[in-house]
Structure 1
Amino acid sequence: MKFIDCKILRIYLKESDKFEGQNMTQTIIKLLKSRGISGATVFKAQCGYGRRGVSRFDILRLSMNLPVIIECIDYETNFKKVLPELTKVVGENGLITMENIQVVK
């Protein structure tokens, strides 16, 4: 069995976050794709909390500003090329993490 050392990049946002008037999640997905990152998946959470407060589905207010996680796996060299732009897009609105992983092929 072969193991490949890679990185997993995660970006934590709220679904209503915007960048220059555009949906931030979609902006990030387009950016990652245009910079050749191998792939990305967007997960929408049921609820969560952080520095900007609690996010949850609220049927009484019809609020749906739920947490969103964008996750992608690639080589560190590829992420380093896009991190300055990602940091600009995310700004103070979210959190970007990167961890070591091993991909099994």
Structure 2
Amino acid sequence: MTTDGQHLLRIYFDAALALQDQAYDAVLIARARDMKIASAAVLRVIEAYGDTAIVHGGKARDLAPYQHLIVELVDTQPKLKAFVETLELSVEIGLVTLEKVQVVGYGGHRHHGA
């Protein structure tokens, strides 16, 4: 099974970011569900660097409190652009990207205990 016309939105930000006392990743996932976005996931970044070339990581040797998350959303471009319009763009949000993807397989998801 392949699906054309799908896009991937990625939002990079500090794990400590909150909006009205809620973790920002939880806010984004709830918002995506409310907007009926097809797929959403939160990814924890193990090691990365950005425009400053400072390496941020979550390894034991790195005792700095900096942790980063990526929220990934997959749906059509119009739905993802509408989602982008709801973002609270600030210094704490890093990169936001949107790219075309081709879904080449989908096995569904088995819910444990169902």
TM-score category, normalised to shorter length? 0.7 to 0.9
Q: Give the structure with higher Rg (CA).
A: 2
Asked if the contact 2:2/2:102 (under 8 Å) is kept, the reply is: no
> Is the aligned partner of 1:92 residue 2:87?
no
| Alpha-carbon contact 2:41-2:71 (below 8 Å) kept | yes
Number of aligned residue pairs: give it.
103
RMSD: 2.4
Structure 2: gaps of 5 or more residues = 106-114
1:55 alignment counterpart: 56
Give the gaps of 5 or more residues in structure 1: none
Alpha carbons of 1:21 and 1:2: their partners in 2 closer, same or farther (altered >3 Å)?
closer
Give the match's secondary structure for 1:27. helix
**What secondary structure is seen at the aligned counterpart in 2 of 1:37?**
coil
Give the helix-richer structure, 1 or 2. Answer: 1
Deviation of 1:45 (Å): 1.5
Q: Percent identity?
A: 25
Question: Which TM-score applies when normalising by structure 1?
Answer: 0.78
Give the TM-score of the pair, scaled to structure 2. 0.73
8 Å CA contact 2:45, 2:58 repeated in 1: no
Instruction: Give the Cα–Cα distance (whole angstroms) in 2 for the partners of residues 2 and 49 of structure 1.
Output: 33
